[in-house]
Amino acid sequence: MSAESADAEIYELSFELRLEISRALSAYLAHADGARERLHKATQRVCTEAHALRLSSDEIVAVLKRLFERTPLTGNGDPDLRRAAWEEFTHSCISAYYNAGEA
């Protein structure tokens, strides 16, 4: 966990995972080979880190929202497509988080 402001502590995914997410989503938006597999791997890592940090689903959404706001993605510049990709990724992360809790 790292502090992003002096006002409050904010949960943060590891730098390596944030970079992996950015690259995976950029590949997805560019329709690159293996993009779905990269997104799946990033989803699983989000789930693992979220469980390790004991984040709630609301906290995961907040973390991913902040990441979305800060992360430049290469590839398709269509903002609607970019937003749809992030929404799909966020939904996948929440689903994986809950499914892992049931295992």
Question: What confidence category does residue 1 fall into, taking pLDDT thresholds of 50, 70 and 90?
Answer: very low
DSSP class per residue in 30-86: TT-TTHHHHHHHHHHHHHHHHHHHT--HHHHHHHHHHHHHH----S---HHHHHHHH
Task: Please tell me the total count of domains within the chain.
Answer: 1
Which tens digits make up the pLDDT trace of 46-62?
999 988 989 888 888 88
For the entire predicted model, the pTM comes to 0.74
Cα 19 to Cα 22: distance, rounded to the nearest angstrom: 5
Range of the domain at 50: 2-102
Task: Answer whether residue 101 shows pLDDT above 70.
Answer: no
Q: Which amino acid is at 63?
A: V
Task: Give the DSSP H or E segment for 2.
Answer: strand 2-3
